[in-house]
Amino acid sequence: MTDKYTQIVSHGLGKDVARRLGLPQPVVLRRYQPGAPLITGPVLVNGDSAGADDLATTLMGWGLDVRRNALPKEKLGAIIMVLDAVQHPEDLGKPVLTVGASLRDLAANARVITVSRVPGSASAPAVAAVRQGVDGLLRSLAKELRSGATANGILLAEGVITTSPSALGALRFFLSGRSAYVDGQFLTVTTNSGTLPDDVEKPLVGKVAVVTGAARGIGAAIARTLYRDGAKVVVVDIPGAGDHLAAVANEVHGTALQLDISRDDAGQRILDHAVERHGRLDIVVHNAGITRDRLLANMDEGRWQSVMAVNIAAQLRINEALLASEHFKDAPRIVSVASTSGIAGNRGQSNYAASKGGVIGMVRATAPLLAAFDGTINAVAPGFIETEMTARMPLAIREAARRLNSLKQGGQPQDVAEAIAFLASDAAGGISGQTLRVCGQQLVGA
């Protein structure tokens, strides 16, 4: 859907008027385009650890213009703060203030990325303090950036190196236009597993993916993105959406399965269809979901149970069938669509928020079950996304929801799809049990 306000104030007279009146000034975000450069402009790699040196060398191998020290007045495409070896809060001052001096030189749609260690794995109080401090630093910095720039972080578990496949995969994702609407967020790399693709434009070649709720909106965008990245796609939706589903299947040269996912045999039917039509199943994206909003005081059993049945119970049953099947044992990927409502809550959505919170809990608990055969499961939690549903919201509420994030605009279905496509790739093989918010750093709630 179109955000006309952003288009008007992002350039020319509209930009000048918005500045004079003190109105929000969102800019058109740099989103991924096949064949486009990963990042435009030099990349400053800040840090004096061996991990920083190794990362700088790797980025030069990607053909990026890497700086270890900023040049005065030079517009930077990205700043990477490598803080993997810090041991005390006092260690933060020098690297952070050095980077702070370069923030005014960031180009529009630039990227700031931290690479640090997981706080919870530290036993020494000082080490835990400095690692947790990076969290507060990064999230605060993300709220200070302007002109479409974003700040995100990569957390490395103990023993994971800065140049592990998934650390590099996460870094490429955060640098690229694929992460345009991801801001103020962290991805944790738990192992050195994963494989970087030979063709970065087609990272899903040879994979077979199933997308539920794919007839329209975010689900259709996910199907298109997985197809663009090389996967064969099975699109799933209820029989009532058959015409739209067939159109999406034709568009992605895939196959359609009309199915109510709340059926007890939904998981087996998905497996049978994928194996019969494509010979295998590698990726399952749980996108299907419904809302039946009411204040809890007015909530009836039908509204509560229907949301639970589709949004979480169906995913649990399908996952049980997947985990029991020999056709889902070759480094499989599951990605579920949660919601920021499941993290921060939302008035009138107690049933929906409970179901989406349930998705996050399910993902966390299922990760160890998939680890035995190099599988992963993760979730993506969208914030305000421009869809047909949000377009029907009252104007004042819609405009407030659009602007209450660090990027001062709503996201696009494509933004959710890009995050899912990354988490479904082998480059994310060392990332599991995580929930990545795609919300422009939503400013309301947790």
Task: Please indicate, yes or no, if residue 73 is contained in any of the structural domains.
Answer: yes
Task: Please indicate, yes or no, if residue 18 is contained in any of the structural domains.
Answer: no
Instruction: Count the domains in the chain.
Output: 2
Of 136, 155, 189, the domain-final residue? 189
Task: Please indicate, yes or no, if residue 432 is contained in any of the structural domains.
Answer: yes
Q: Are 273 and 363 in the same domain?
A: yes
Of 162, 189, 216, the domain-final residue? 189
Which tokens hold the place of 146?
């302007």
- Dihedral of the alpha carbons of 92, 95, 101, 107, in degrees to the nearest 10: -110
The pTM score is 0.94
Q: Which of 5, 32, 181, 352 is catalytic?
A: 352
Task: Please indicate, yes or no, if residue 419 is contained in any of the structural domains.
Answer: yes
Which of 219, 100, 141, 214 lies closest to 406, judged by CA?
A: 141
Grade residue 69 by pLDDT with cuts at 50, 70 and 90. Answer: very high
**C-alpha–C-alpha distance, residues 177 and 195, integer Å:** 21
Helix (H, G, I), strand (E, B) or coil at 405: strand
Q: Left (φ > 0), alpha (ψ -120 to 50) or beta: where does 253 sit?
A: left
Task: Please indicate, yes or no, if residue 21 is contained in any of the structural domains.
Answer: no
Q: Are 113 and 257 in the same domain?
A: no
pLDDT-wise least confident of 71-75, 104-108, 321-325: 71-75
Q: Are 342 and 237 in the same domain?
A: yes
Per-residue pLDDT, averaged over 146-175, amounts to: 97
Per-residue pLDDT, averaged over 150-157, amounts to: 98
Query: Is pLDDT of 1 > 60?
Result: no
Task: Please indicate, yes or no, if residue 2 is contained in any of the structural domains.
Answer: no
* % of the chain at pLDDT higher than 90: 84
Q: What is the pLDDT of residues 102-151, one digit of tens each?
A: 999 999 999 999 999 999 888 899 999 999 999 999 999 999 999 999 99
Rounded to 10°, the helix 350-371/314-324 angle is 10
Q: Are 265 and 299 in the same domain?
A: yes
Buried b (16+ CB within 10 A) or exposed e, 48-72: eeebbeebbebbeeeebebbeebee
Q: What is the pLDDT of residue 15?
A: 67
Q: What is the pLDDT of residue 215?
A: 97
Which of 138, 107, 87 lies closest to 40, judged by CA?
A: 107
Which of 111, 201, 256, 271 lies closest to 425, judged by CA?
A: 201
Q: What is the pLDDT of residue 446?
A: 53
Q: What is the pLDDT of residue 390?
A: 75
Q: The domain that contains 368 carries what CATH number?
A: 3.40.50.720
Q: Are 219 and 174 in the same domain?
A: no
Query: Is pLDDT of 156 > 70?
Result: yes
Q: Are 221 and 136 in the same domain?
A: no
Per-residue pLDDT, averaged over 212-233, amounts to: 97
CA 194 from centre of chain = 17
Task: Please indicate, yes or no, if residue 198 is contained in any of the structural domains.
Answer: no
Q: What is the pLDDT of residue 165?
A: 98
Q: Are 242 and 158 in the same domain?
A: no
Q: What is the pLDDT of residue 213?
A: 97
Query: Is pLDDT of 206 > 90?
Result: yes
Q: Are 231 and 372 in the same domain?
A: yes
Q: Are 138 and 246 in the same domain?
A: no
**C-alpha–C-alpha distance, residues 442 and 2, integer Å:** 20
Q: Are 66 and 158 in the same domain?
A: yes
Task: Please indicate, yes or no, if residue 415 is contained in any of the structural domains.
Answer: yes
Query: Is pLDDT of 387 > 90?
Result: no
Per-residue pLDDT, averaged over 290-301, amounts to: 90
Grade residue 402 by pLDDT with cuts at 50, 70 and 90. Answer: confident
Question: Residue 35: is it exposed, middle or buried by C-beta count within 10 angstroms (0-12/13-18/19+)?
Answer: exposed
Q: Which helix (H) or strand (E) holds 58?
A: helix 50-61
Residue 293 sits in which domain range?
A: 208-438
Beta strands 150-156 and 76-82: pairing type?
Answer: unpaired
First to last CA, the chain: 27
Q: Are 114 and 85 in the same domain?
A: yes
Q: Are 181 and 266 in the same domain?
A: no
Q: What is the pLDDT of residue 398?
A: 76
Grade residue 207 by pLDDT with cuts at 50, 70 and 90. Answer: very high
Is 227 known to be catalytic?
no
Q: What is the pLDDT of residues 241-271, one digit of tens each?
A: 999 999 999 999 999 999 999 999 999 999 9
Place of tokens 């490395």: 156
Q: Which helix (H) or strand (E) holds 268?
A: helix 266-278
Residue type, 174: F
Of 141, 161, 189, the domain-final residue? 189
Who has greater pLDDT, 403 or 206? Answer: 206
Q: What is the pLDDT of residue 2?
A: 59
Question: Residue 38: is it exposed, middle or buried by C-beta count within 10 angstroms (0-12/13-18/19+)?
Answer: buried
